[in-house]
Amino acid sequence: MAANELVSQDALHRQLGLSDERLLDMYFMMVLARKYDERALLLQRAGKINFHVSGIGQEAAQVAAAFALQKNKDYFLPYYRDYGFVLAVGMTMRELMLSLFAKAGDPNSGGRQMPGHFGDKKNNIVTGSSPVTTQVPHAVGLALAAKIKKQSFVSFVTFGEGSSNQGDFHEGCNFAGVHKLPVIFMCENNQYAISVPIAKQIGEARIADRALGYGFPGHRIDGNDVFEVYRTVKEARERALRGEGPTLIEAMVYRLSPHSTSDDDLAYRTKEEVQHHWKLDGINRLREYLLQHSLLNDELEAEGLKKIQLVIDEATDFAEKAPYPRPEDAFTHVYGDEQEGSTNAGQ
């Protein structure tokens, strides 16, 4: 939907139940994630950190989805590009930076896992790993717990389109379909599995259509359209809470950055292709909308950007100065009942 069409309507965001303030929050959350990502790349290039995996181009879908869910109630199983998502459900910039620098205070893993491997119980963010798609059956298990314990929450899981070819995607969706569980599967289809384009990943090009085979609805949506993402996730959540079962959402996005700081994407795609997708960026689209609706102006934007800059500067500095884990901490928390200081855990 082009921004100029929206001017004539009663503001779409209000129709969807999003206040002006909340929409602006959503926008700045996306910008915060973008700026974090840019800073992480700089830090890696400066040799301050070892590795960063980017989410640039996917923030709009991530943040819009998070805003349609219930913080501290729903359970979240994000994948490794979901900086916008985790920020929107409660992780702080300091916490992200602690993870990036692999410092002891990192709530995701205490500096054990690569950045982007989220997990934070206080925010209902379920711990994840690097083998892709293993989180899909976990989300189904959390939804099963909701059903057994008669709790009113949904589990929300994301993954890339590359992941949708793993057995765990099929096994998880099928299980959820059988038991009509309150789970939302959101594929962030960024059109590349590292270097392999969608045409070499999937014979039938629509991931959303797979939902048919599991007996629940699948929607392909424009992931750069925050309103469409917000509406679709919100409806999926309501449907799940009514006991009507899962929904598969395929949010079409584009990975604007290389796969990671170890990847040169121009080895497998053209500059022109990437530039084309920069023009479709969901953050800019929302910005246009906000400007058209006079919800954003130069002054507000400058103020917001300045605040973001300060938050990121402060967090970078904080994390850089924060202590590393103690070397001996490499051997703790293998089991819950281990003895203090035991290195051969359990023995």
> What is the binding site for another protein (CB under 8 A)?
75, 106-113, 117, 119-121, 126-127, 129, 131, 134, 136-149, 155, 167-168, 171-172, 174-175, 178-179, 332-337, 345-347
* Token reading at 171: 């096994």
Give the number of other Cβ atoms within 10 Å of residue 130's Cβ: 10
Instruction: Tell me whether residue 323 is exposed, middle or buried, using C-beta atoms within 10 angstroms of its C-beta: 0 to 12, 13 to 18, 19 or more.
Output: exposed
Closest separation in Å from C-beta 302 to another protein: 38
Instruction: For residue 77, list its beta bridge partners.
Output: 157
Instruction: Tell me whether residue 293 is exposed, middle or buried, using C-beta atoms within 10 angstroms of its C-beta: 0 to 12, 13 to 18, 19 or more.
Output: middle
Which has the closest alpha carbon to 97: 323, 261, 315? 315
Residues 6+ apart with CB under 8 A from 220: 206, 207, 208, 250, 252
Nearer to another protein, 85 or 175 (CB): 175
Nearer to another protein, 162 or 258 (CB): 162
Residue 264's φ and ψ, nearest 5 degrees, are -110, 100
Closest separation in Å from C-beta 319 to another protein: 16
Is residue 249 within 8 Å of 186, Cβ to Cβ? yes
Residue 303's φ and ψ, nearest 5 degrees, are -65, -45
Closest separation in Å from C-beta 326 to another protein: 12
Give the number of other Cβ atoms within 10 Å of residue 82's Cβ: 31
Closest separation in Å from C-beta 79 to another protein: 14
Nearer to another protein, 133 or 190 (CB): 133
Nearer to another protein, 137 or 160 (CB): 137
Coil, helix or strand at residue 221:
strand
Nearer to another protein, 124 or 224 (CB): 124
Which has the closest alpha carbon to 152: 229, 264, 240? 240
Closest separation in Å from C-beta 215 to another protein: 12
User: Measured between alpha carbons, how far is 320 from 328 in angstroms, rounded to an integer?
Assistant: 21
Closest separation in Å from C-beta 156 to another protein: 12
- Determine the Cα angle at 154 with ends 77 and 232, to 5°: 90
Nearer to another protein, 197 or 213 (CB): 213
Closest separation in Å from C-beta 96 to another protein: 16
Which has the closest alpha carbon to 99: 87, 82, 116? 116
Nearer to another protein, 155 or 190 (CB): 155
Nearer to another protein, 159 or 175 (CB): 175
Closest separation in Å from C-beta 69 to another protein: 17
